[in-house]
Chains A and B, each alone.
Chain A
Amino acid sequence: MSAATPDTALPLRFRRSRLLLRDAGIGVALLALVAFFALAAPDFLSGTNMSNILTQITINLILATGMTFAILIGGIDLSVGAVMALCAVVAGTVMKLDALPEVVAVGLGIAASLGVGIAAGALNGFVSAFWGVPSFIVTLGMLNVARGLALEVTNARTIYDFPDSFIAFGTASLFGLPVMFLLALALLALGWVVLTRTVFGRMIYAIGNNEEAVRLSGHRPFDTKVLAFAVTGACVGIAAIVYVTRLSIANPILGVGFELNAIAAVIIGGTSLSGGRGSLVGTLLGAIIIGVLGNGLILMGVTDFIRQIITGLVIILAVVLDSYRARLSRSLG
């Protein structure tokens, strides 16, 4: 057993330092990127631009936080972009109900978004765990179901004109930082506590490492799996609200391809695509790297097509470097 899971066999102090080493590697990459853009684009380091980057990465950071749970447990969620659109249009429809007082309508809309997200996530987890089918294909199906439902609910129309009191949150700032980013950061911190300090969190890592071993030791992975995907869904519901409050619209075609950015942030952040290894600190750094890259290249005046090529190359580079880091930490062990 201990040979199969060397991580847990090591003293705690050792494990920590190796995790730190892993995150430090991504941190160095981020610092190098920031230093490069600071030299190449004069406005990059300005306070306004820093604040813009934080706003721009907020939605991806929330989605990536949820995605980390799905990937750590050995799964993946391809439905987050489509489910986000469904959450947004359901929330938007509820918020526009004239029969309700404004505050109640907004509150119910937020609750509905969370509810739809959690329900979709739990359903993903349930189908995948109960019938033992890969979450890759279950969530691919959910992607189509959610997108279709979102179109059906709205008849393909854009919902607009939301209460000002709700829209104000989208662009509000606190201590010079965007409120929505602080919310995303708080969510990430909460997720970090859950993953590192609770039984549920330890079970996620254990299942991601070796599901069979968890089963043989007398635990049922089923509940943990459903719950992990429900957490992914809850994050999607929150991201949808952030979208609506920031852009004041909800349409059924929003969020196309967002799942890919979220997965990229998680993987660049050093979480293993096969599960069991990684952290939310890495995900935070991964999301920042993607955001800084997109922003910095525009500021430098790099054209659209070249920007796309560079972003792709950085993702490939990140996973290649990660394979070296994994080898290094194994040899240290």
Chain B
Amino acid sequence: MDRRSFVIAGFGAGMLAAFPGFARAAGGTPKIGLVMKSLANEFFKDMQEGAVAYAKKRGGFELIPVGIQSETDIDGQIAAVENLLTRGVDAIVIAPADSRALLPPVARAVKSGVKVINIDVAFDPESMKKRGVDIAFVGPDNRAGAKMSGEVLAQALGRGGKVVIVEGNPGAENATQRKLGYQDAITAGGLTLIDSRTAHWETEEANSVFTDMLTAHPDIQGVMAANDSMALGIVKAIQARGKTGAIKVVSFDDIPAVKPLLESGALLATVDQFGSQLAADGIDEALKEIGGQNLTGWIKTELKLVKGKGAA
């Protein structure tokens, strides 16, 4: 490519980026971009597969799914949003890697007429106000879900029961909400919180960290784990200490790997947030907006408490 045609091509791409509506007018069926978090995570993988299956079943629109390398790849996600705008999508459904950092490109999209639906983790309300946008959030109430799970433990232990929380990644919104939900259950059920530590969502780390918590506090009666992967490691630690049944565990996510634990009673309860339907729900709302509706606020999605054999 010589220099002149390079400049022209660059100018053309710039025009498309500056006026997405211009590119959009060319297509017939609406295009919806789906911006996911890390597809290395079972939860988001399920969610994307659910969305692709839904797009095939429902028809009438084109779905462009994009993922990022890791949960915290904020730059990668910003680039993904910008690429979708260049491709002239009509709507974007996004599970933001950060509830503030993603707002600038997303607000720009809204102002250029692209419909945006927020799923999984909500954008920060203050930041939205500052940018002058009000984007609808479709997602589960993690705090309410954790409270349901925690209440099963509270019921099993009775007032005064001694519990610990094993947290997700510090700073992650869903980790924060789940911890708050567990604390709600602790307050409501009159439990005593002895210790609360992170194991970064990870099985092996949860195994080690909980083993050490148990050494420091041999009187622990119950554990609230922020996800199932960590519950797997915690249950192993309880078995190794010969305290199966004596220490009760509740958790969150309902991944297939915990089924045997629910059946044996090693895990008291977990919460299904129907992750595979979440992106599909978001797409539904996006189609409504393309159809002319203006959506705002929190559109809550279903949560289901899954009880194991050991639960009352």
Closest 9 CB pairs of A and B: A298-B212, A160-B257, A156-B45, A158-B257, A56-B208, A299-B216, A171-B240, A49-B215, A304-B198
CB of B105 to closest CB in A, whole Å: 26
Complex: A43 Cα to B217 Cα, angstroms: 9
Residues of A near any B CB (own CB < 8 A): 41, 43, 46, 48-49, 52, 55-56, 59, 147, 151, 155-158, 160-161, 171, 243, 246-249, 251-254, 256, 294-295, 298-299, 301, 304-305
For the complex, is B239 an interface residue (Cβ under 8 Å from A)? yes
Q: Which of B39, B207, B216, B233 is the most central at the interface, judged by chain A CB atoms within 10 Å of its CB? A: B216
Residues of chain B with a CB closer than 8 A to A305's CB: 170
Indicate if the CB atoms of A298 and B209 lie closer than 8 Å: yes
Complex: A294 Cα to B239 Cα, angstroms: 22
CB of A330 to closest CB in B, whole Å: 39
Indicate if the CB atoms of B255 and A151 lie closer than 8 Å: no
Indicate if the CB atoms of A52 and B212 lie closer than 8 Å: yes
Complex: A294 Cα to B213 Cα, angstroms: 12
Complex: A161 Cα to B198 Cα, angstroms: 26
- For the complex with contacts A249-B257, A253-B40, A294-B212, 17 further pairs of A-B residues with Cβ separation under 8 Å are A52-B211, A56-B208, A156-B41, A157-B256, A158-B42, A158-B229, A160-B232, A160-B257, A171-B236, A171-B239, A247-B203, A247-B204, A247-B233, A252-B40, A299-B215, A301-B195, A301-B216
A46's nearest neighbour on chain B, judged by CB, is B215
Residues of chain A with a CB closer than 8 A to B45's CB: 155-157
Indicate if the CB atoms of A249 and B232 lie closer than 8 Å: yes
CB interface residues, B 204-240, toward A, < 8 Å: 204, 207-209, 211-213, 215-216, 229, 232-233, 236, 239-240
For the complex, is B10 an interface residue (Cβ under 8 Å from A)? no
Can you sample 28 A-B contacts with CB below 8 Å? A48-B215, A49-B215, A52-B211, A52-B212, A55-B240, A56-B208, A155-B45, A156-B39, A156-B42, A157-B42, A157-B256, A158-B42, A158-B255, A158-B257, A171-B236, A243-B204, A246-B207, A248-B232, A248-B236, A249-B257, A251-B203, A252-B40, A294-B212, A295-B208, A298-B209, A298-B213, A301-B216, A304-B197
CB of A136 to closest CB in B, whole Å: 20
For the complex, is B82 an interface residue (Cβ under 8 Å from A)? no
For the complex, is B173 an interface residue (Cβ under 8 Å from A)? no
Residues of chain A with a CB closer than 8 A to B40's CB: 147, 151, 156, 252-253
For the complex, is B184 an interface residue (Cβ under 8 Å from A)? no
CB of B219 to closest CB in A, whole Å: 12
Indicate if the CB atoms of A56 and B257 lie closer than 8 Å: no
Residues of chain B with a CB closer than 8 A to A48's CB: 215
Complex: A147 Cα to B40 Cα, angstroms: 9
Complex: A56 Cα to B209 Cα, angstroms: 9
Task: Give the number of chain B interface residues (Cβ < 8 Å).
Answer: 30
Indicate if the CB atoms of B215 and A254 lie closer than 8 Å: no
Indicate if the CB atoms of A249 and B216 lie closer than 8 Å: no
Complex: A298 Cα to B208 Cα, angstroms: 10
Complex: A156 Cα to B49 Cα, angstroms: 12
Complex: A171 Cα to B42 Cα, angstroms: 27
Complex: A157 Cα to B40 Cα, angstroms: 9
For the complex, is B284 an interface residue (Cβ under 8 Å from A)? no
Residues of chain B with a CB closer than 8 A to A147's CB: 40
Residues of chain B with a CB closer than 8 A to A156's CB: 39-42, 45
A147's nearest neighbour on chain B, judged by CB, is B40
Return the contact of B215 from the options A52, A248, A251, A252 (Cβ within 8 A).
A52
Residues of chain B with a CB closer than 8 A to A304's CB: 170, 197-198
Return the contact of A299 from the options B204, B212, B240 (Cβ within 8 A).
B212
Query: Do A249 and B203 contact each other (CB < 8 Å), given the known contacts A156-B42, A158-B255?
Result: yes
Residues of chain A with a CB closer than 8 A to B134's CB: none
Complex: A157 Cα to B213 Cα, angstroms: 29
Complex: A268 Cα to B208 Cα, angstroms: 21
Complex: A287 Cα to B269 Cα, angstroms: 37
Indicate if the CB atoms of A254 and B170 lie closer than 8 Å: no
Return the contact of B236 from the options A247, A251, A252, A295 (Cβ within 8 A).
A247
Query: Do A56 and B211 contact each other (CB < 8 Å), given the known contacts A157-B42, A298-B197, A305-B170?
Result: yes
CB interface residues, B 238-262, toward A, < 8 Å: 239-240, 255-257, 260
CB of B43 to closest CB in A, whole Å: 9
CB interface residues, B 22-67, toward A, < 8 Å: 39-42, 45
Residues of chain B with a CB closer than 8 A to A41's CB: 216
Indicate if the CB atoms of B232 and A294 lie closer than 8 Å: no
Residues of chain A with a CB closer than 8 A to B202's CB: 254, 256
Query: Do A161 and B260 contact each other (CB < 8 Å), given the known contacts A52-B211, A253-B40, A298-B209?
Result: yes
Residues of chain A with a CB closer than 8 A to B207's CB: 246-247
Complex: A52 Cα to B213 Cα, angstroms: 11
Complex: A52 Cα to B240 Cα, angstroms: 10
Residues of chain A with a CB closer than 8 A to B203's CB: 247, 249, 251, 254
CB interface residues, B 255-285, toward A, < 8 Å: 255-257, 260
Q: Which of A43, A56, A298 is the most central at the interface, judged by chain B CB atoms within 10 Å of its CB? A: A298
Indicate if the CB atoms of A160 and B208 lie closer than 8 Å: no
